[in-house]
Amino acid sequence: MKAGGLWVYDNEIDRVFGGPDDGELLELRDFDGYFLGYGFINSHSRIRIRILSRDEGCAVNEELLKKRVHAAWEYRKRVMHKASDLEACRLLFGEADLLPGLTVDRFGDVLVAESLALGIDRMKRTILSALVEELAADGAKIRGVYERSDSKERDLEGMLRVSGWIELPGMGGGETQVPITENGIRYLVDIANGQKTGFFLDQKYNRLAVQRLCANARVLDCFTHTGAFALNAAHGGASEVVAVDASATAIAQAKENAHINGYERTVSFRTADVFELLPQMERQGERFDVVILDPPAFTKSRASVKKAVTGYREINLRGLRLVRDGGYLATCTCSHFMEEALFARTIAEAARGAHRRLRQVEFRQQAPDHPILWTGDENSYYLKFYIFQVFDF
């Protein structure tokens, strides 16, 4: 167990006394009897214990959970750029908000929850009810809470995958296509069928940073998903945007979002494998003022990092070859295991391979509603985002 960490792995435990059932709270001590914390146990998981409190004598009860929820909401109100950003915002981010395994996103009048740990799963209704009350106290009416606990990570915890409206006092259900506005752009978020909770909120301010580069620019947006970077480019005054994704479902949603905002003429969409399309564009002499690379995570474990490096190097090399001299590349990784220094080296290798010079404009991370906890391996720091100006040698 790393100092300050909130996870205890199965190979770090010597003995468990009292035979607690999976999902129950226990007291954690080291070999000398020194108190380490209270956490819930799950014998099915490699992460055997998830710490809830390091305060000896602390009562882990409804009052504590409400305090954690209140602190999380107060934090978001202070760190987000403007009040309207709270209407599409991550409200709870698991360990980073000291509620391990539970993520909650807000999309207008709907909350979407993902529960990935057994202990917190038993507490989720209390936590979600407290969150609805916090929002109501600030005048935000929530009509329902939708659960998207359908990730395969639940299998590793010995839990069934579930999705659907959660029954809470005073909460209903209704339409699962939820309208939001972010950075002045409107979207329909498919909370029932979209990836994760339906929309990637972590890139909110990174999209805004790219938006500022796109006036009168020809833009290529790779791995567009629901079109968010492409629409920010159009909103920033791009003359033409080409948006690419391998998923026909994602492209259909992106086209709908373009229609809602009146950008059908500015943004064109292609359903294609980006790794195959970019070399074709290069051979055809295509060039862009701005190229955006927002791929899915190429690695979700340390064991596959080496293979992921190859993928990131290739996609950045191909993207760099399509940027006009003096143009811009926005590139990122959303993998916790692709560490910052390794990602930077990989981009540098791609630039050498493409015979391009890079001038860094800025380095960014996930939006502050996805706070980064400086402890152990709890995965809260995952998004690394660079903007470069690109030059010929």
How open is the CA angle 317-383-4, to the nearest 5 degrees? 135
Tell which residue, 126, 95, 138, 92, has the closest CA to residue 111.
92
In the chain the first and final C-alpha atoms are separated, in Å, by: 48
Residue 334 annotated in active site: yes
- Report whether 16 contacts 26 (CB < 8 A): yes
Residue 73: its H or E element: helix 62-79
Catalytic option among 214, 222, 332, 334: 334
Tell which residue, 348, 342, 382, 385, has the closest CA to residue 363.
385
Reduced to 3 states (helix: H, G, I; strand: E, B; else coil), residue 317 is helix
Q: How far is C-alpha 71 from the chain's CA centre?
A: 21
The Cβ of residue 235 has, within 10 Å, a number of other Cβ atoms equal to: 18
Residue 350: its H or E element: helix 340-354
Name residues whose C-beta falls within 8 Å of residue 278's C-beta, 6 or more positions apart in sequence: 222, 315, 318, 319, 321, 322
Cα distance between residue 40 and residue 51, in whole Å: 7
User: 19: left (phi > 0), else alpha (psi -120 to 50), else beta?
Assistant: left
Residues annotated as catalytic (active site), given as ranges: 334
